Chains A and B, each alone.
Chain A
């Protein structure tokens, strides 16, 4: 699989991480994130251990560290919020470089930054090593309701088609001299959005017609089976198990 164009977030490869069944990876990431979130923020060494674990996964999966770092940019809005906390939070204050910072705010910021970053990096690794299509098969395997999986699958297929339609509408607007300048122009944009919705809705009806014509009766046929063996589950358990051990070790010591 994966010939031709791949998805933007997916990094084609044949590493052991790539080859794990998607449902194993999904559960592993979920348990890992739960372990991270449940770790008290004062146990700084546990977070260092988590980061090392993710670095090890990235190394095994041959996902370049630089690529992971670049993609963590998605959490920037949260970082901005976290950076504000030491200034606006109340409670005891510490003084550093002439700034008056709230101690509780500092811990809060660290908490958000550390846990958020670990969660984001784990997700980036999951997305880089798993095709979106396989992720859907994975959640289906994990008993996600079929209807929701179908909706997500159609989103995956038609996101580009709708974006292309939106681009054509923007060009058509611009060709007739429209340029969004201030808030009053929002009316025009809102109307375009309405038109886009109608077009997408009509496309939905046509797609349904095409599906019914080929025998669709409410259920998508299962075309690819992604079975997981005990060995797969064991391999996938390595990450969350190590994280749990790290969490427990530091709570005992």
Chain B
């Protein structure tokens, strides 16, 4: 078996975090923990009253080893097929430009991957489980900031 199949990779991911064996996929019958509702920073609150929402904490926030695994997972789970190599955009949006339709905080990216989004982002929570999704979140949050693309000029400076 090639080490880059999801099963092989996920075993590797799990070995890294053996204490969190909830995320077996996809054969596992273990129910993943359902994340709570997240209040989005980007949402405007009517009357200035912010609705209640839970919090989600990325257990691997900023961990470069987990981010490296996430990069592998990004290709193994075919994320690059839509978001392009290095998440630079293809069918799906550019994620490296750090602009976000549904929020760019760890918990917000987590929700996008776990449950999917309209316009064709599949829900990966069932296939990847909590641990797998956090691994991807850690990778996406680690992407190097791309050059400023806001201005594109054809004039000679």
Q: Is B truly associated with A?
A: no
